[in-house]
Structure 1
Amino acid sequence: MASSDKKAPSKKPAGATAPTPATPPSAVAPVEQLVQRLPITTGLNARPHLPDVTAPSLEGLEVTVPAGEDLTEDDLLERFHELARAQAEVRERAEGEPLSLGDEVRLDILGYANGRLIPFSTRLGHWMELAPQEMLPGFAEVIAEASVGDSIQVGITLPDNYPVESLRGMPARFLVDVRAAREVRMPDTESDAFLSTLGRGATHDEVVASIVDELEGERADLLWVDAQNLVLDAVVARTDVKVPEALIQEEIRRRWSQMEGEALALKNFSLEEQQEALDGWLHHPGIRDDVERRLKIALVLRAIAARDKLQLTSGKVRELLEVRSAPFGITPQQLSESLADPTTSAQMTDVAWHLLAVEHVMSQAKVRFEGADAS
């Protein structure tokens, strides 16, 4: 089911009328990307009453990483599409101009199910390609019927494979503000001129071969991340780590504030509404389990770093962050901005400490990848 209502209610800041231009990448972005995608909990040393953890032995650490899925034709087509869009002609759409599938749109999004905000559904200033989405069937198609500046309501039924099991098959409602849009005119992907601009070969076969190499390299990076997660879980299992409930709730509140709370305040949600949204996070089993795991890993790595007297120099900070951020598309410029920004430099140092401890632990582990020789 999909519905559109251009008079749908929208929690907007007072006086916010015209769409604003896209915001350049913030110095905070690299930090949050690393923290969200790796089991990192920052600022732990500043928190009082941390539980005592005995650093476990690193002897005999061994894990086997399951083989990743094979590349599919869809994977290749998706990457080829991304490369083509990067070469497209782009035109800013004017206020009131109709949208079209294929546009780049800047949206404010609030998602509801069962009368409550869906955790992680809040997005402000979110740029996306206006194209069908497997997890939100009908979402893009309804927005494509709107115009720049519209506030609309999109009603859909969440699919049976939706990531949150409790919401599968449930009706959901999204309040969407269309803040800006860009018309995207795709190039002729069959032309020699297009292939030349890609710089990946003179024929389609050569371009496809380069894409295969690129995707396989990315998957190898992700398999190594899987290996590290398996090793970290094995290390945590070697010691008794009891995380106080108060610490878990404090970390959930911190994550909620960064990822959703600040956005809800900007949308003029009342304190009661914000508390209701926070309660959704606090009682979400998946979020709680993830936070508890992150805290256990952080506490165990902290104990190992102290026992083994690990040292972190400024040069090592940069080295660790450059290597680990590259697979996530974080540029050296973004990294430099984060390290130079007083509001994020301490957090980046926390990330570097985590990476140093992980590097130390991995140097003691034997990792075997299914289908490959042990390493």
Structure 2
Amino acid sequence: MQVTETLNEGLKRGYSITVSAEELDAKVNDKLKEAQPDIEMKGFRKGKVPMPLLKKQFGQRLLGEAMQETIDGAMSKHFEDSGDRPALQPEVKMTNEDWKEGDDIQVEMNYEKLPEMPEVDLSALKLEKMVVKAGDAEVDEALQNLAETAQDFKDRKKNAKAKDGDQVVIDFLGKVDGEAFDGGAAEDYPLVLGSGSFIPGFEEQLVGVKAGEEKNVEVSFPDDYGAENLKGKAAVFECTVKAVKEPVAAEINDELATKFGAEDLAALKTQIAERLEAEYAGAARQVMKRDLLDQLDEKVSVDLPPSLVEAEAKQIAHQLWHEDNPDVQGHDHPEVEPTDEHTKLAERRVKLGLLLAELGQKAEIEVTDAEMTQAIMNQARQYPGQERAFFDFVRQNQQMQQQLRAPIFEDKVVDHVAEQATVTEKEVSKDDLQKAVEALEDDE
């Protein structure tokens, strides 16, 4: 086998690989010898079929397999010897298209290699970590929000009209074509107007009713309604309003605390403070992470594989186009051409991605099975009732696994880098932290 360099320009590499006919023939013979003990043929005992006959019978079938294995082996040996890591799958093609058995194989291989990342003195990084304490005002605000979620309802004044957000207690009987239908009746049903719990158009017609009033609500069942006999049908619901109630927030006391699993109000306040500070810490980490990545970006200058930058720029442009055109769900739209701004952002992402991968590899950072399982479970919660199916889908989909693994790996490497850097804590207000987070969003 002969390997000759044909291109060495920046990160681009090209090689001509020649596999001699003798090498290929030897590969086929090795395969036949390996299979010979198990082959049976009429007129011969098992394992005793002569090689010339085996070659005549099976040689052509094994030739393509031997060619592929030989070329793959040549490529693997080249990358092992050279230390090159291709940015994308190498382009490989036979150049002697008129090849026939007995000829040497001529193969051309082209690829872009990943650059060698420079050493970075991580101890020279200086980072600031914002720290926000949950004060009484923040805890009280969160408590008030909890009280509103645990709201109750009390009767409005006599003859008061129901408003959106009120609860009306009703008896109702639904009819289609003058006939009552199964599941269309209830007594003392507490319906919150505006909750969207009834079919479209029902709740809106009860806005303005009073206790003691009777009202016919006329609606049509959606075409995709669950009951086949009601799909698209017009219906009349005869409603009797028993009560009209306004929402009231729950009182902030020990009873409210027990509703949320705390022993008393003091314990609930402690839990809220801890949760808020955990949220603040997460936001502060994102701010520090951006600063860390900015410093790494400034410190590292390296040639980047054009193919990776181009692919990333196209992905960025495509994603942003869909964000600007949310009504377009599929990809049946004109090709989106990346701008200089997209390309600049792509260069940053590719450079930092390669650098973090290198730092993670050197530090032997890995994503554990437990971390992957947790990530899959978190994602699966977005599909209520289909968690098991989603879990199985991810387990069988390597690309999806990589999408979940990549951010976990990146965060672990960022934590590793931060451990080597000089980190100074700075206590700030919630507003200061919020402004810093908003600045990150504006830069994206």
TM-score bracket, normalised by the shorter chain, equals 0.3 to 0.5
TM-score by length of 1: 0.46
TM-score by length of 2: 0.40
Bigger share in strand? 2
Higher RCO (Cα < 8 Å, 6 or more apart) = 1
